[in-house]
Amino acid sequence: MTVTYPQLSPKAWAKAITKPAQEFPLTPLSILSGKIPEGLRGTLYRNGAGRLERGGQRVGHWLDGDGAILAVHFTDAGAKGIYRYVKTEGYLAESKAGKFLYSNYGMKFPGSTWDYWLRLLSNQDVLKNAANTSVIALPDKLLALWEGGNPHALDLQTLETKGLDNLGMLTPKHSYSAHPQRDPKTGEIFSIGTSINSGLNLYKSDRTGKIVQTAAIKLDSFSFIHSFVLAGQYLVFFLPPLQLNKLPVLLGLSSYCDAFEWQPEKGTKILVVDRETLEVVSRGETEPWFQWHFGNGCVEADGAVRLDLVRFSDFRQTNEFLREVATGQTSTYNYGTLWQIRLNPQTGKVIEMQQVVNRYCEFPVVKPQQLGQPWRYTYLALLRPSAEIGRELPDTIAHFDYQTGTLTETDLGENRYVAEPIYAGDRLNPERGWVLTVVYDGNADKSEVWVFDSDRLQEEPVCRLSLPEVIPLSFHGTWKSA
């Protein structure tokens, strides 16, 4: 598929992805303003596509870039940062060859059909595990996550890549979600893997990451399930009306991205699973939409599940916009907004549904200690009211207060872009917290780490730290307390 983009003046964010990101060793970070809170001790980890070109060619989609991890360690002696690519097998092979060697979500296999089949017949990978989407910090390792394959294990301090990690049970062909859900009370970790053969694999791990329970659920067709929600005793899935045209993908004639067909007439399917038995509780159906990310979920006093998510009316628009990001110019209208949904978990039927933030937003998160439990604030990355929808990337962070129905947001100024907000609890005061984000300053072509008081997002950051290199706009991260 050849896409022709209109010639528009590039936005400031494009400079952050024009060239491959540069690694840097463990480096003390200078304070640009404010000071590091005494109760902020631990590590911020972030993952995203650090390299979007190879040998003069661009990747086919933003989701195809090689994963690179930023770690910022906050200690009594100050903050230190380190940035390293995940040294996957595909990254190392392509670095040596100086060109693309694999297919990916938005890329077909770059070689001939004969080469493609030779690789398949010799049991070699044709699809690259990009390890670029998210991270989860375990007691003894960091996992770099990519939903098409096994996670990669890294050293928590040095970010040295240790290799693929099967978590005690995964086979090399198993996929593992980029969005596992960790129960803050039990430490249990829930994740999924989807199969092109229409299956949904469920995984329950202990607090070390070792898988201790699995289940497989048959689906009517292959569905794009990027994330799901933990809500009390339930795992809740919304399956968008997407159909994958499998044959061209299996024959190497199409990328996954181009093989998905949006079929809104089929509606969005709902799947509710018991977290203890991993058995299906109910199945339902509702109107069509697409979502990448959920904020949180819980069971309310009347037994209903309440959850929130960022909802898009059409997969094709949001997917095309993300494809365009890799080119440095976007023009496709892309509008996702925050919605709250209540449903009956025993029947899978929606009780009520309402839009709560009518602004473009993404990356909804909550306090980690409230995951799966009742919560008040959902934190978001969003566009300022003056931003041009379809051309800009998120340029402010905010939280929506479900108790008062109000949105409180930061003001970073022109041409500054944010990553997903990450909540970090204060080690000295459990009632206090901080919100961290990596900011790309398009005016100065520099990256920084900004720390906000979680209850005062409308005020200046309490601390700004300078990073030694530009960090491309990334996808997801996590906080690990010291």
Q: What is the 3-state secondary structure (H, E, C) of the chain?
A: CCCCCCCCCCCHHHHHCCCCCCCEEEEECCEEEECCCCCCCEEEEEEEEEECEECCEECCCHHHCEEEEEEEEEECCEEEEEEEECCCHHHHHHHHHCCCCCEECCECCCCCHHHHHHHHHCCCCCECCCCCCEEEECCCCEEEECCCCCCEEECCCCCCEEEECCCCCCCCCCCCCCCCEECCCCCCEEEEEECCCCEEEEEEECCCCCEEEEEEEECCCCCCCCCCEEECCEEEEEECCEEECHHHHHCCCCCHHHHEEECHHHCEEEEEEECCCCCEEEEEEECCCEEEEEEEEEECCCCCEEEEEEEECCHHHHHHHHHHHCCCCCCCCCCEEEEEEEEECCCCEEEEEEEEECCCEEEEECCHHHCCCCCCEEEEEECCCCCCCCCCCCCEEEEEECCCCEEEECCCCCCEEECCCEEEECCCCCCCEEEEEEEEECCCCEEEEEEEECCCCCCCCCEEEECCCCCCCCCEEEEEEC
Domain boundaries, the chain: 12-481
Q: Which of 97, 131, 147, 393 is nearest to 256 (CA)?
A: 147
- pLDDT attached to residue 221: 80
- pLDDT attached to residue 1: 44
The side-by-side arrangement of strands in the sheet containing 134-137 is 134-137, 142-145, 152-154, 161-164
Second-level CATH architecture of 12-481: 7 Propeller (2.130)
Strand-pairing partners, residue 191, are: 203
- pLDDT attached to residue 2: 47
- pLDDT attached to residue 220: 84
The pTM assigned to this predicted structure is 0.96
**Residue ranges of the chain with pLDDT lower than 70?**
1-7, 198
Residues composing the chain: 482
β-pairing verdict for 336-344 and 349-357: antiparallel
β-pairing verdict for 361-365 and 349-357: unpaired
Amino acid making up residue 73: H
